[in-house]
């Protein structure tokens, strides 16, 4: 099998960084070039475990820079793009949607144009065959809208009905990828995933926010009644799902990647509280390491729960039906939620300096 030379966009973000670590560990002959603009959610420290790997190259740049993308595709003989780069925080999309339009729609189109130029147009103009290639686009279940409690989970055939500027921008990107396949012959695949969790998850997101706020003795904000339902997917299972799509997926197809693991937000919050309550009650060293977690939180983290006004247009339920991905590609999540959430909690307890720096950077950026 020909070794893959892969361009990973947004590789310094949460899912991208975990995917890169997974890929280089399991595909020893492949090379990865990361392109990342290092915005608020991009953190070069997420790639520290692979920075000395000779098969890894980092480039600081923006996916909207089409000329730069073309240069990278040529100079590194890239034959695969895995496109993670996106503005992804729903709250930020509500208060400032422009960045989501620019990155998620214009940026995706920039990548598609560059890929078409290098892999299709230039070989044709030189009388050569189209280069072997793959453009894989990483999307979200939020493009499908929301579900009622009794509704069946989202399938690949579910009609798109995005409800936030973030979801709408991702839906537009999905359609552009599909159009470049059907119109120009670009060899594409798309995956739509459920909510990821795991190491390197940016502290604004629910699970790391609850963990870090407990450790800092800060309120645990819960939107509305907290009964919004999400399907939670451990990030390494997502990486493995993308690997299966790249290796076995049919060109032009979309594949749902889920965790088979629906939880209400408030139940997630209470579970994390219980796990940290137990950890503090049985480990005196934790109390010394996290003095901010005063007696109000130690053993009773639920006391920090604070219900806040619900997010505008908050979707009630997401759920992924991954039957197609399972039957065609052999995908099933390996990590149980019990094991995955414990791994995640342990990672945050062991990596305080990482998340403290993330929080400090986000506070500085918001004050500018």
For residue range 253-301, list pLDDT tens digits in order: 999 999 999 999 999 999 999 999 999 888 878 888 887 765 555 568 9
Residue 333, pLDDT > 60, answer yes
Residue 368, pLDDT > 60, answer no
98 assigned to active site: no
237 assigned to active site: no
* 165-185: average pLDDT: 97
Query: Can you give the pLDDT at residue 287?
Result: 80
Query: Can you give the pLDDT at residue 95?
Result: 86
Query: Can you give the pLDDT at residue 290?
Result: 85
Query: Can you give the pLDDT at residue 313?
Result: 84
Length of the chain: 368
Query: Can you give the pLDDT at residue 234?
Result: 98
Catalytic residue among 141, 236, 243, 335: 141
Query: Can you give the pLDDT at residue 294?
Result: 54
Q: Is the pTM of this model over 0.75?
A: yes
Which carries the bigger pLDDT value, residue 322 or residue 89?
322
Phi/psi for 30 (5° steps) reads -90, 155
For residue range 30-62, list pLDDT tens digits in order: 999 999 999 888 899 999 999 999 999 999 999
The CA-based angle 246-247-251, given to 5 degrees, is: 60
Number of C-alpha atoms within 13 angstroms, CB side, residue 8?
30
Query: Can you give the pLDDT at residue 284?
Result: 79
* Reported confidence tier of residue 366, pLDDT bands at 50, 70, 90: low
Tokens of 295: 């007696």
Task: Quote the mean pLDDT of the chain.
Answer: 93
For tokens 């595709």, name the residue.
73
Query: Can you give the pLDDT at residue 2?
Result: 72
Mean pLDDT lowest for which of 109-113, 128-132, 206-210? 128-132
Query: Can you give the pLDDT at residue 360?
Result: 86
Query: Can you give the pLDDT at residue 299?
Result: 67
Number of C-alpha atoms within 13 angstroms, CB side, residue 101?
6
For residue range 8-31, list pLDDT tens digits in order: 999 999 999 999 999 999 999 999
Query: Can you give the pLDDT at residue 247?
Result: 97
Catalytic residue among 87, 142, 231, 321: 142
Residue 326, pLDDT > 80, answer yes
Kindly indicate whether the domain formed by 5-196+234-258+314-334 is annotated with CATH number 3.30.465.10: no
Query: Can you give the pLDDT at residue 332?
Result: 95
Catalytic residue among 166, 200, 255, 348: 166
142 assigned to active site: yes
Domain boundaries, the chain: 5-196+234-258+314-334
């Amino acid at each position: 099998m020909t070794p893959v030379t892969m361009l990973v966009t947004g590789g310094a973000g949460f899912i991208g960084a975990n995917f890169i670590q997974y890929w280089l560990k399991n595909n020893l002959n492949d090379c990865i070039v990361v392109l990342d603009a290092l915005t608020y959610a991009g953190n070069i420290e997420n790639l520290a475990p692979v920075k000395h790997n000779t098969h890894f190259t980092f480039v600081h740049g923006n996916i909207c820079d089409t000329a730069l993308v073309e240069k990278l595709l040529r100079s590194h003989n890239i034959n695969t793009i895995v496109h993670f780069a996106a503005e992804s925080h729903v709250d930020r999309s509500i208060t400032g949607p422009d960045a989501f339009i620019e990155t998620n729609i214009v940026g995706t189109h920039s990548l598609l144009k560059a890929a078409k130029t290098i892999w299709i147009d230039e070989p044709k103009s030189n009388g050569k065959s189209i280069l072997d290639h793959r453009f894989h686009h990483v999307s979200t279940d939020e493009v499908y809208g929301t579900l009622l409690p009794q509704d069946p989970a989202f399938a690949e055939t579910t009609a798109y009905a995005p409800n936030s500027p973030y979801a709408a921008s991702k839906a537009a990107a999905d359609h552009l990828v599909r159009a470049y396949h059907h119109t120009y012959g670009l060899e594409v695949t798309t995956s739509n995933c459920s909510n990821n969790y795991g190491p390197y998850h940016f502290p604004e997101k629910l699970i790391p926010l609850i963990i870090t706020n407990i450790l800092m003795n800060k309120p645990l904000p819960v939107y509305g009644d907290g009964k919004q339902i999400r399907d939670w997917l451990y990030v390494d299972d997502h990486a493995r799902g993308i690997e299966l799509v790249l290796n076995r997926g049919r060109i032009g197809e979309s594949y749902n990647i889920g965790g088979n693991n629906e939880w209400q937000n408030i139940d997630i919050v209470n579970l994390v509280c219980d796990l940290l309550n137990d950890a503090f009650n049985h480990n005196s060293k934790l109390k010394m390491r996290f003095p901010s977690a005063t007696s109000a939180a130690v053993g009773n983290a639920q006391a920090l729960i604070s219900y806040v006004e619900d997010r505008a247009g908050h979707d009630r339920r997401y759920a992924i039906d991954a039957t197609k991905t399972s039957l065609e590609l052999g995908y099933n999540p390996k990590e149980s939620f019990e094991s995955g959430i414990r791994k995640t909690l342990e990672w945050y307890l062991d990596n305080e300096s990482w998340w403290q720096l993330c929080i400090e950077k986000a506070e500085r950026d918001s004050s500018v």
